[in-house]
Amino acid sequence: MAQKKYVYFYGVSKELTEGDSSMKAILGGKGANLAEMANANLPVPPGLTISTEACAYYSKTGGKYAPEMEKQLKAQLKKLEDNMGKKLGDPKDPLLVSVRSGAAVSMPGMMDTVLNLGLTDKSVLGFIEQTGNERTGWDCYRRFIDMFGDVVMGPYTGLTHHDFEVELEAIKKKYKAAEDTDLTAEQLKELTEVYKKVYQNKVKKPFPQDPVEQLDLSIRAVFGSWGSERAEKYRQINKISGLLGTAVNVQVMVFGNMGSQSGTGVAFTRDGGTGHSKPMGEYLVDAQGEDVVAGIRTPKHLDDMPNEESPIWKKAYADLQKIMARLEKHYKYPQDVEFTVQEGKLFMLQTRNAKRTGLAGVRWAVEMATGMDFFTGEKQAKILNQKEALMTLSGDDLEQLLFPIFDIAAEKKGKVLTTALPAGPGAAVGKIVFEAAEAEAAVAKNPDEKVILVRHETSPEDVGGMWAAQGVLTSTGGMTSHAAVVARGWGKCCICGAGDLKIDYAKKTVGIGGKLYKQGDWISLNGSTGIVYDGQIPTQVSPVVSAVVDGKASAKNDPIYKMYEQVSKWSDSNRTINVRTNADTPKDSKAARSFGAEGIGLCRTEHMFFEGDRIWAIREFILAEDEISRKSALAKLLKHQQKDFEGIFKAMDGLPVTVRLLDPPLHEFVPHTKKDQQEMAKRLGVPLKKVTERVQELHEFNPMLGHRGCRLSITFPELCVMQTKAIIGAACKVAKLKKAVKVLPEIMIPLIGTKAELDFLEKIVRENAEEIIAKTGSKVTYLVGTMIEIPRAALTADEIAETAEFFSFGTNDLTQMTFGYSRDDIGTFLPDYLGEKILPSDPFQHLDQTGVGQLVKIGVERGRETRPGLKCGICGEHGGDPESVKFCVKAGLNYVSCSPYRVPIARLAAAQAAIKG
Ligand code: ADP
Ligand code: MG
Ligand code: MG
């Protein structure tokens, strides 16, 4: 049997490289992309990737290596040594490596890297001898002890980076060094000795002098970190599941800490906050590893690089720009890269798809596919076609364009406290808290609580609180700090590096702009500009909303609106199904139509019953004791209903409107408190007893399975008569207006379980509709159809389709009845079900494709057997959920229907489903 491959080689040449970017699941994102860059002949230090499968084996066996893995590691390491002409830990000329974690999905800051592995008391001298750079030698060694102590030994011994940091500060103070780069070789050597003592004190063993042992312990630490609490938490929050583990990358070191012609940095090919197409980044001269993001020294802006004193930087900058452009084109997606310059030579250490806000994502997509800057009109490279552009987007991205921003006038008047880095966009208003745990607790207690997390910096332990907060404000760290990267990935408002913040964690106060704020005081953040304001600044709707819903002409010139428009156009030209909306009022219908709705898929008539005086008419109907009094009560409702329908038909001129007959149980229309019942009795001129008795009668043990839907109209046919008159009366009226409205009413009968139910009501609908049409001499045509929301209806769809002219899958009730979960009570057990992974997600949010979805498919199939081309749609909450929309496309539905603000998202999802095929 062939041996399982656990260790992959990359670098040196294309021929020697064994992986590529398609192998993320087993090489992790970092390893797969390092291999991909090596395949493209980019300057990547060579190395090995130990697969995620090896990690899975290690986790499963409680800490054992797969036997083949050890053998393969040895052989591959030998290959690496041979190619580099150096041996790991060789006292004369040591090969140094980094040990880097990396799962299939990038998890910023979750698992830390160890650099300069292979240095020992002896080999450091060999390194110095070979490089002729004493300072670099000691700098690398002290860093290695620090990282190895913290990352590898820390979890067992409590040794932390901080333990070393205090010694570094002490020695800097002792020698009056402002920065760590001011320390001399001699001083760093002294520091190394101190570090070894710090290590020994906590670990109770001397720092390991065998490079093979160093490597072994480091690999184990990476594997072990996969199951750490903070990694688990990050995966939980970000809904990352199904991964095998993390890969381990053992990579030949390059040195950014070799003096003024060396350095290290991170860069983005485009701005992940605003989406601007200009590369941005930060770097430090004479630095190593994560110095840039650690906030030890303040990094420089990428644009400053060509102006460095040494001329090598001009070339390094040009090389980097060229490589970044190549990578973006190659991956067809903006990249986030890490690089190091060693004595003038540029090395690429990582590339991955850049994290971004929704706004940036939309801007990237439209600009990369049109080759035009939507803000300036400047030309740029065309990298994608429109289909590829659409596939880079998610519903959440579009949704962010519909998020509120600060009211412009109010923001102008706002009191500016400080300005710092705009690390995550949008507006956030909230009460100050200083601890992530407090932010989490406050929101757990009251989900409407709005807090801003204010900290020196954030760390992976804080992600729960960052998630809970409206926004994050930090006093240190740059655009690539932990807070910035995490917040941007979520599209959360974040401002970083506000240096003049005076935070006192003990007193729970922060001084900003000369004013002292306590925990609980309000501040406002504009994450797009980096400005911190005093108090609460009112927020304003997005330009897309003002242009689309309010029809503001000025907003239509806003680039954000234009981007939205572009995405919508492309979505429409690619999708194969229609998108309708769920709307009950002329106002909602209008808004939905401007968001691109192609009709109403669900108009819930009962929503009209609650407005103004109408509730009294329906209550009168409920109390009435005979048909005559019921009819007279309904006559009062008729006027109102007809007027509502006229408004809706006008708003939807030319588009179909599906109107559902009354659905909820009648008890929803009567008051349940004594006081309100008294009022009802008084108002309707009946004794209180009559009211209380009727309310009592209406009580049901299972109202959702009780007297509702078509069952109401079967008991009270006059209800169905009234509603038909209102719908068809309105249709005939607006069709006859001078400015004639084209009406396409579809009358939908809810909660059908048998064909006989439908037949009974269809007859009433048709008789009354025909009568009005004949009386008015109108040419209005209409359809009569049903909802499929009871499993029996789906199963007998062939019979039902003999009568029904269309189907609309009411997936809320269908889910309720298929699972037997009460929609209103699922909250009591859903968290347990999700926690124990009994359900993958809330089935009322994401359609259960295997079970409920099967009923949808059966319904469509059997329905169309009887009535070929039967029009089928879906009108549950699922109509606005991208994954569910994709299912609907596959199931052959003609349309999905969702709430007005979800329409653009459904259009995009429908297009994506069509493109994917
Ligand atoms: P993270 O996953 O947190 O980004 P990385 O594994 O990318 O961690 O390592 C962090 C940094 O360490 C890199 O950005 C790079 O600067 C440095 N680094 C890692 N490996 C090497 C190497 N072989 N040579 C030089 N620097 C390295
Ligand atoms: Mg890190
Ligand atoms: Mg990295």
3.90.380.10, 3.40.50.2300, 3.20.20.60, 3.40.1000.10: which CATH number matches 575-665+700-916?
3.20.20.60
Nearest CA to ligand 1 atom 23: 253
Tokens of 846: 């994401």
CA distances from 701 to 614, 665, 697, 709 (A): 27, 12, 11, 16
Q: Which residue of 234, 286, 343, 350 sits with most ligand 1 atoms within 8 Å of its CB, as the best mutation to test the pocket? A: 350
Q: What is the pLDDT of residue 477?
A: 75
Which ligand 1 atom minimizes the distance to the CA of 106? 2
Residue 255 Cα to ligand 1 middle (Å)? 11
Residue 338 Cα to ligand 3 middle (Å)? 6
Closest CA to 877 of 815, 785, 795: 815
All CATH 3.50.30.10 domain ranges in the chain, comma separated: 405-540
- Please list the ranges in the chain whose pLDDT falls under 70: 1-2, 108-111, 295, 404, 480, 488-491
Nearest CA to ligand 1 atom 12: 289
Q: How far apart are CA 302 and CA 284, in angstroms?
A: 9
Protein residues within 5 Å, CB atom, of ion ligand 3: 338, 350
Q: CB pairs under 8 A, 24+ apart, for 131-139?
A: 131/255, 131/258, 133/258, 133/259, 134/185, 135/184, 135/185, 135/188, 135/259, 136/255, 136/257, 136/258, 136/259, 137/185, 138/185, 138/188, 138/189, 138/191, 138/192, 139/188, 139/257, 139/288
Q: What is the pLDDT of residue 49?
A: 97
CB under 6 Å to ligand 1: residues?
Answer: 45, 98, 100, 109, 113, 115, 251-254, 264, 289-290, 338, 340, 349-350
The radius of gyration of the chain's CA atoms, rounded to the nearest angstrom, is 33
Closest CA to 468 of 480, 481, 458: 458
In the numeric block, the tokens 């998610």 are attached to 394
Do the annotations mark residue 864 as ligand-binding? no
Nearest CA to ligand 1 atom 16: 289
Q: What is the pLDDT of residue 111?
A: 66
Can you name the CATH fold of 254-356?
D-amino Acid Aminotransferase; Chain A, domain 1 (3.30.470)
Q: How far apart are CA 101 and CA 245, in angstroms?
A: 10
Residue 241 Cα to ligand 2 middle (Å)? 21
Beta bridge partners of 427: 526
All CATH 3.30.470.20 domain ranges in the chain, comma separated: 254-356
Q: What is the pLDDT of residue 108?
A: 58
Q: What is the pLDDT of residue 1?
A: 57
Q: Which residue of 115, 264, 345 sits with most ligand 1 atoms within 8 Å of its CB, as the best mutation to test the pocket? A: 115
CA angle at 637 for the pair 633 and 638, rounded to the nearest 5°: 110
Which ligand 1 atom minimizes the distance to the CA of 109? 3
Q: State the angle between helix axes of 52-60 and 24-39 in degrees (0 to 180), rounded to the nearest 10.
A: 150
Q: How far apart are CA 744 and CA 741, in angstroms?
A: 10
Which-ligand-closest: CA of 102?
1
Nearest CA to ligand 1 atom 27: 289
Do the annotations mark residue 604 as ligand-binding? yes
pTM of the model: 0.81
Q: What is the pLDDT of residue 126?
A: 94
Do the annotations mark residue 70 as ligand-binding? no
Indicate the SS3 state at residue 905.
Answer: helix
Which ligand 1 atom minimizes the distance to the CA of 338? 14
Q: State the angle between helix axes of 134-147 and 161-174 in degrees (0 to 180), rounded to the nearest 10.
A: 150
Do the annotations mark residue 812 as ligand-binding? yes
Residue 74 Cα to ligand 3 middle (Å)? 25
The neighbour count for residue 13, using CB atoms within 10 Å, is 11
Q: What is the pLDDT of residue 488?
A: 67
Q: Which residue of 34, 99, 100, 144 sits with most ligand 1 atoms within 8 Å of its CB, as the best mutation to test the pocket? A: 100
Which ligand 1 atom minimizes the distance to the CA of 266? 14
Concatenate the DSSP letters of all residues of 784-829 into one string: EEEEE-SHHHHHTHHHHHHH-SEEEE-HHHHHHHHHT--TTTGGGT
By the 10 Å C-beta count (0-12 exposed, 13-18 middle, 19+ buried), 682 is classed as: exposed
Catalytic residue set: 482, 875
Residue 113 Cα to ligand 2 middle (Å)? 6
Q: Which residue of 44, 252, 284, 338 sits with most ligand 1 atoms within 8 Å of its CB, as the best mutation to test the pocket? A: 338
Beta strands in 537-686 (DSSP E): 539-540, 578-582, 600-604, 656-660
Residue 286 Cα to ligand 2 middle (Å)? 19
Can you name the CATH fold of 405-540?
Glucose Oxidase; domain 1 (3.50.30)
Asked whether the beta carbons of 788 and 859 are under 8 A apart, the reply is yes
Q: How far apart are CA 551 and CA 532, in angstroms?
A: 31
Nearest CA to ligand 1 atom 8: 113
CA distances from 177 to 169, 183, 293, 728 (A): 9, 6, 21, 86
Tokens of 230: 């903070």
Q: What is the pLDDT of residue 363?
A: 97
Nearest CA to ligand 1 atom 9: 113
Asked whether the beta carbons of 109 and 483 are under 8 A apart, the reply is no
Which ligand 1 atom minimizes the distance to the CA of 249? 6
Neighbouring residues of 263: CB distance < 8 A, sequence distance ≥ 6: 256, 283, 284, 285, 286, 287, 340, 341
Which ligand 1 atom minimizes the distance to the CA of 100? 6
Q: Which helix (H) or strand (E) holds 351?
A: strand 345-353
Nearest CA to ligand 1 atom 18: 289
Residue 372 phi/psi, 5° resolution?
-140, 140
All CATH 3.20.20.60 domain ranges in the chain, comma separated: 575-665+700-916
Nearest CA to ligand 1 atom 17: 289
Residue 265 Cα to ligand 2 middle (Å)? 13
Q: How far apart are CA 46 and CA 37, in angstroms?
A: 11
Beta bridge partners of 358: none
Do the annotations mark residue 823 as ligand-binding? no
Q: What is the pLDDT of residue 653?
A: 94
Do the annotations mark residue 129 as ligand-binding? no
Which-ligand-closest: CA of 482?
2
Tokens of 424: 């995550």
Q: What is the pLDDT of residue 240?
A: 83
Do the annotations mark residue 488 as ligand-binding? no
